[in-house]
Structure formats: C-alpha cells, structure tokens
Structure 1
Amino acid sequence: MTPNAASARILLIEDEAPIRRFLKIALGSAGHETLEAGSGREGLERAVIGNPDLIILDLGLPDMDGKAVVREIRSWSSLPILVLSVRDGEAEKIAALDAGADDYVTKPFATGELLARLRVLLRKRGDSEAQPSTVQVGPLSVDLARRLVTVGDQEIKLTRKEFDILALLARHGGRLVSHRQILTEVWGPAHVDDLHYLRIAIGHIRNKLDDDPASPRFIVTEPGVGYRLLS
C-alpha cells in the first residue's frame, strides 16, 4: 500500500497486551490498520511478511533488546521506526537513534502527540519505496531479511561475516563498495587496514557460490579499490 497521513499499515512490536490494545484503538480511530507482535522475533517476521508502512517499537522486549530489532530491520529496509519506551535516559535515546530509529517517544505519552509524530514520519516516507528485502543476481538470491542465500534451489551456508559482506554488496545494487567501507561496516573501524580478513572472506564466499574470480558470475574485483556485485 502507499502510505499517507490518513491511512497506513502500522506494525506494533510491543510485549504488553494492554498497550497494544490501546494503540490499536487509537490508531484505528485515526484510520490506520494495525499488525501486532509480542516479541522481537515475531516483529521481525511480521515486518517481512506484513508489508507495514511504519513500525512502533518497544525497547523492552522479552526475547531481545529493541535496538537489536532496529539494527536488523535497518540491514534490509528504510521503513520508518518510532520507538515507544519507558526508558527516558538521554543515552538510551541516542543509542536507539544511532541504531536507526527515526523518532523516540517516552511512556506515558499523549495520544495526540504520538499521532502527530506518525503523520510526520509517513509524510517523509511519502511514495518512496523501501529497499527490497531480496536481491536477485541471475540464479543468486540474497534474502536480506531472512539472512538466506540460495543459488538456484540450493541453499548456501555462509558464516555471519560472509553473509554481512554479501548483503552489503547486494544493498549497493551493482555499485562499487570500497575495501575500507566493507571492513568498517563488517569488522569495525579498528580493522580498516586488515585487508587480509576481507580477501580471505571473499575467497570463501566465492568458493561457496562457485564463482570464478577470473570469470565472475556474481562478485567482481576492482583491483586496489573494492568489490561490486553484478546486477
């Protein structure tokens, strides 16, 4: 659906059922459709299959911290995320925003203010499309949300860092990604000069994908600069 300030599909990731019921009534009165999830993992699943326009997220979930949910969603989507939490410390707010949240409202909250902030986020989103959750390059499929890689009908088992590298290349859609950027995002800023880590990991990925670097089907090396995934 195309989100707008009058009507949107909103995913509530909140473990307290009374708050979900209250929000559902408030959002429904404003013309919004709601999806519900009581845990982080359930929320991630519904974010993939429910096609929401915006997410309202509590940080204190029973199975994982809400900031981890934000980071997971940000690895494949630009969906607006509004954090709704009792945690009112400045450091907590900064951490959630740095993880990728778009706004932060503390509990208890005024319904009118919450709805106004939602309208702002939906207007900003406008008609822009979220990044696709799956990137296809010939027979190679990279499902960014489910962290699943297949070639044809065969699932390819990658380590976490191998997947993170491939996902980073996939999100850049055929554009060159520098060694420095990959090392920073996958290993951290302290490893920007550890090029051997990256070369070994790329070699493992290519072996698993049966991708010959001399005649690549998927990953192209730009000597001395970085890598790109064919599109």
Structure 2
Amino acid sequence: MAEPPADRVETEGRLDDGVLHDGLLDDGVLHEGLLDDALLDELSGLAAGLARRAADLLLEGMASVPELLAAERIGTKTSATDMVSEVDRASERLLVDGILAARPDDGILGEEGTDRPGRSGVRWVIDPLDGTTNFLYGLPGFAVSIGVEIAGRSVAGAVLDPVQDELFEATLGRGATRNGAAIHCTMVGDLGLSLIGTGFGYEATVRARQADVLRTILPAVRDIRRFGAAAVDLCSVACGRLDGYYEVGLQPWDLAAGGLIATEAGAVLGGLDGGRAGAPLTVAAAPGIARALRALLSQAGLPASREAGSGPPRGSVTLGQPEMRHSQGVGTRILTVEDDERIRTAVRMALEDEGWDVDESESGEQALEAFAADPSDVVLIDLMLPGIDGFELCRSIRRTSDVPILMVTARADTHDVVAGLEAGADDYVTKPFQPKELSARIRALLRRARSTEPVRTRLRFGDLEIIPDDGVVRRDGEEIHLTKTEFRLLCELASSSGRVFSREQLLDRIWGYDYFGDGRLVDVHIRRLRTKVEHDPAHPQHVVTVRGLGYKLNG
C-alpha cells in the first residue's frame, strides 16, 4: 500500500477519509492476497445472518399471498409479467436496516430501489426475493441473495433458499459451501450429456427470441430446466444440479452472490466472448463444456458481452491433478499463458529447445479449459491477462490441483509478487528474463514436484500427523491438501523438530536455485501453510516464527 499523505492518518487499514484501503493498491484494483481475513469473515458472517432473517420473513409472508392476490396488491415493474409484492419491499428494508446497523458507511444496491452510495469502499448488492413469481404462486425456487463487493469485485456472497432450507455461501479464494459442506460443479465433458438451465426475460419480444434460441439449444443437450430464479440457477451449477446455465439480461443483484458461489465452486462464468457476465448474456458452466456451450449459444444468435475486459466475478474452475509423465526432458508438458503473441512464441521456442512439449493459451479462459481437458506438468502464467487475470487463474487452478505454477510479472514489485504467491504460485520470474533463467526455474519446480525422498515413516506434532512417504498430512485425523511446495516446506521443518531454519536455509533447501535474499517466497508460503495446518493461523501453534532468526515446527 502506498504511504498516506502527511495530512491523513492511517488506522487499522483505513485512512481518515473513511475509504477502505485493505487489499487495494494505488490503481484501485482489488488484490485478494492482500485482503484482511477478519474483514472477509465479518462480511460473510453478516451476509449469512441477514439472509436467514430475510428468509424467515419470506416464509412468514407466504401466508399473506392469497390476501395480496385477492386485493390486487401485487405491483409490476418493467412489464406486466415482472411482479413485485409488499413482501419483496419488506425484505429489502430488513436487509438495508441490518447492513446499516452493522456497517453504516457501506454502500447498498438493491433490486427494489435502494441505491445508497457509501464511503467505506464496500458495497452490498442485494436481491430481497429472487424468484417472486415462484413465491407468489406457492412454488419452490425462490431465494434471498446477498453479495458484497470491494472495488467492483464480489468478495462474499450468501444465497438462502427458504423452502429447501439451503444456505449457499462463498468467500473469495475460500471455495463455496452448501449448509457448511464444500460443493463443486460437475466435471462433465460432453455437452450432449449436460443438463442446462436458463431463464426468460419479461418483455414479450425478448421471450420470443429466447424461444427461437431454444430450438438450437434443446436438441444439442441432455435437457433444459427453468427454475425461475437466477441466484438459484447459479447455485445449482455450483452444487452440480445443473451442468450449465445461460440467461439474457441479468442485473448486478442477480449475479453478485450467485456468480461468486458458482466460480468458487469451480464453474466458468462470463459472457459469450469470455468477457464479463451480466447484460446482455451470462454463461456459467462446468469447465469441460463451457467452450462448447458458448459456441452453441453463438450459433443460436445470442449476443456477446458489451465489454470483454475484466469484471466481477470471473471464472474459477475445479481441475484434475496432473499426471507426472516422465523425467524433466521428453514428455514433460508445460502450459504457457500469455496474451502477447511475440512473447508467447519466444517462450515456446525456448522451452521446446529444452525438449519440453508446450501448450499455449492467450487468455485465462482458454487456459482453464485447456488444463481441464489435459492437465500439464507446469503452468507458466503471465499476471497481466485480459478477462481472467493471472491472479484469478492461479487461484482457480490451485483450488484442487498442486501442479507447479510459475508466475511471470513485468516488475519485481512487492505487491504483485506477494499477491501472486498468495494466490497459489510456487515461484516467479521477472520480465525481461533470459531463456536459461526460465528453464532453470522450471527444472527446480519439476525437481520439487517429483522428489520422492522420504523424511521418516511417520511424524507427529500434537494434532498434526505427517506421512512423508505417502505425501499425506492430517490434522485431528482429517487429511489436509497441501501443494507440493507446501508439503516440502512442512517436511523440511519437521525433519528437525524444534530447530530454527533461517529464510536463506529454506530457500536453498526448498527452492534449490539462486533465490538468496528473496524472503518473500518463504514468508508467503509459510502463511499459506499456516492457513491449512493451524486451527488459528493468526496465533500459530505448530509453524512458529522465531523473531530475527526464522521459522521452526513445534511438537
């Protein structure tokens, strides 16, 4: 973070202008690796609590629906089919009051008219009753949807279906859950075997066009479903009830929570051309069918997104583990993700000279689909990509794959490097770089990934159990997934219980290349390791810091 001007006081991540600065750099861009965990916990907890309160109000309000219908007290908005009730408005008032009571400086955007600017940098995007038609007709398939944005990007979301009593939640970088249990989208790879959801607009002319589109879509998929609530549809993709979903004309309150939940569960989310989701078209799908579904929708004549740049929230994808093929020569496959064709070509030629097979992607979206179809041994990611940027791409791959990731940055800026490492990268290289340097970094990554040298058969440190030969770590009997670099780091610390390792020693032993002086690699990986092996990462009991000396593992 840049230093505040002399006439402004910085206190707990805020300047005295009242604007949130945690996770924001001077360019105003959100970097999830720099977000404060306590802030995310506060926002996600408040969203879930308010969703439950509003859901209770909706269930109570169902009893009054016959009276409202009889008295013709159901209003309309954009058309005669776009209904709104007193219950919608009451639910929005409840949510707004609850947000302002807890966080009076936050902004709020609500479907039923709330448009309140804020001063904190946080904006709540709420749909108090998504699926009003279902609600008024006594059908299931309506929900409360609450999203939270920072710098225009969703960081927390909650969608609660009162009838099914299902609470879907997601926090940026932490995955998605349903009633507290982790959820993931499907890994279907055949569009013809996919169940696809959609919705219809409120204008008659739009509906007629959507009906024409169905003529193309329906014969090419397993079947079509229409649940009647965008947030429910997106959550259905997240938990595998749908393989994909598309809809025209979604608004921010339709997407802020459900879109984040879908991407955190591994779905690819965006417009037809890989740009931002929203009007005019949103597509959310399992990674194995995303490209095919977009191509089919394009063939059917649906429009591309108006803006192909970055936007909230974009694709994450659940990916398989790469199968390590051979040694570091012939048969090793490297995926390089770079939007500059000249750089991409030069990198490919340099890596092929080393005997490696190279796959190329010019965007994050292409890379997600390529990796899902055929995982690589190493992924080389440029941070500055159009659409899904390198930070998101790295985080998406890292969610379920421990493939070695080497990030490429145009400058050795601490913010870029730390954010990339926090997103899950194992190492970084700074432009411009020499081909020999790049090759050496990749070889070091491959050595660590393929090392089978055991430490001891079984190690115990309190509630932590390490089985080096099997690559297994358990805490309280439950297995913890670590990347290969994190596992090597933990085993190195465990090799001499209680011994203090300096940053330089860990750099030499784990990274094995000329990294002297760059303690950021160690510090960020230690933080990542603590989030997985510690009950309270802020107050670690196992991986502890010895001030001025380094790190050690306590028993």
Residue 343 of structure 2: aligned partner: 19
Higher helix fraction: Structure 1 or Structure 2? 1
Query: What is the aligned length?
Result: 136
What SS does structure 1 have at the residue aligned with 2:385? Answer: coil
Specify the structure having the higher radius of gyration (Cα): 2
What SS does structure 1 have at the residue aligned with 2:352? Answer: helix
8 Å contact from structure 2 (residues 363, 386) kept in 1: yes
The TM-score, its normalising length taken from structure 2, stands at 0.23
Shift, 1:87, TM fit: 3.4
Cα distance 1:75–1:24, how it changes in 2: closer, same or farther (>3 A)?
Answer: same
8 Å contact from structure 1 (residues 3, 126) kept in 2: no
Query: C-alpha distance in 2, partners of 1:176/1:11?
Result: 29
| 1:58-117, Cα deviation, whole Å (9 max, x unpaired) | 011111221111110011100000001213211110110111101110110011111001
What SS does structure 2 have at the residue aligned with 1:105? Answer: strand
Find runs of 4+ consecutive structure 1 residues off by over 4 angstroms: none
- Where in structure 2 are the equivalents of 1:81-96 lying within 5 Å? 81-96=405-420
Question: Does structure 1 residue 111 correspond to structure 2 residue 435?
Answer: yes
What SS does structure 2 have at the residue aligned with 1:25? Answer: helix
Shift, 1:3, TM fit: 4.3
Query: C-alpha distance in 2, partners of 1:31/1:176?
Result: 37
Shift, 1:42, TM fit: 0.7
- Where in structure 2 are the equivalents of 1:21-100 lying within 5 Å? 21-100=345-424
Shift, 1:33, TM fit: 0.2
Select 2:445's aligned residue among 117, 121, 125.
121
Residue 2 of structure 1: aligned partner: 325
Residue 202 of structure 1: aligned partner: none
8 Å contact from structure 2 (residues 404, 446) kept in 1: yes
Structure 2: which amino acid aligns with 1:100?
A: G
Cα distance 1:85–1:175, how it changes in 2: closer, same or farther (>3 A)?
Answer: same
The TM-score, its normalising length taken from structure 1, stands at 0.54
What SS does structure 1 have at the residue aligned with 2:440? Answer: helix
Cα distance 1:18–1:2, how it changes in 2: closer, same or farther (>3 A)?
Answer: same
Q: Which residues of structure 1 form unaligned runs of 5+?
A: 129-171, 178-183, 190-231
| 1:136-193, Cα deviation, whole Å (9 max, x unpaired) | xxxxxxxxxxxxxxxxxxxxxxxxxxxxxxxxxxxx9x9479xxxxxx99xxx9xxxx
What SS does structure 2 have at the residue aligned with 1:122? Answer: helix
Cα distance 1:14–1:114, how it changes in 2: closer, same or farther (>3 A)?
Answer: same
| 1:196-225, Cα deviation, whole Å (9 max, x unpaired) | xxxxxxxxxxxxxxxxxxxxxxxxxxxxxx
RMSD of aligned alpha carbons = 2.3
8 Å contact from structure 1 (residues 58, 83) kept in 2: yes
Query: C-alpha distance in 1, partners of 2:366/2:359?
Result: 11
Q: Which residues of structure 2 form unaligned runs of 5+?
A: 1-323, 453-474, 481-530, 537-555
Query: C-alpha distance in 2, partners of 1:176/1:112?
Result: 38
What SS does structure 2 have at the residue aligned with 1:22? Answer: helix
Query: C-alpha distance in 2, partners of 1:17/1:120?
Result: 26
Cα distance 1:90–1:176, how it changes in 2: closer, same or farther (>3 A)?
Answer: closer
Cα distance 1:3–1:14, how it changes in 2: closer, same or farther (>3 A)?
Answer: farther
What SS does structure 1 have at the residue aligned with 2:351? Answer: helix
Query: C-alpha distance in 2, partners of 1:54/1:94?
Result: 20
Select 1:101's aligned residue among 425, 428, 433.
425
8 Å contact from structure 1 (residues 80, 122) kept in 2: yes
- Structure with the greater relative contact order (CA < 8 A, sep ≥ 6): 1 or 2? 1
- Where in structure 2 are the equivalents of 1:140-219 lying within 5 Å? 175=478
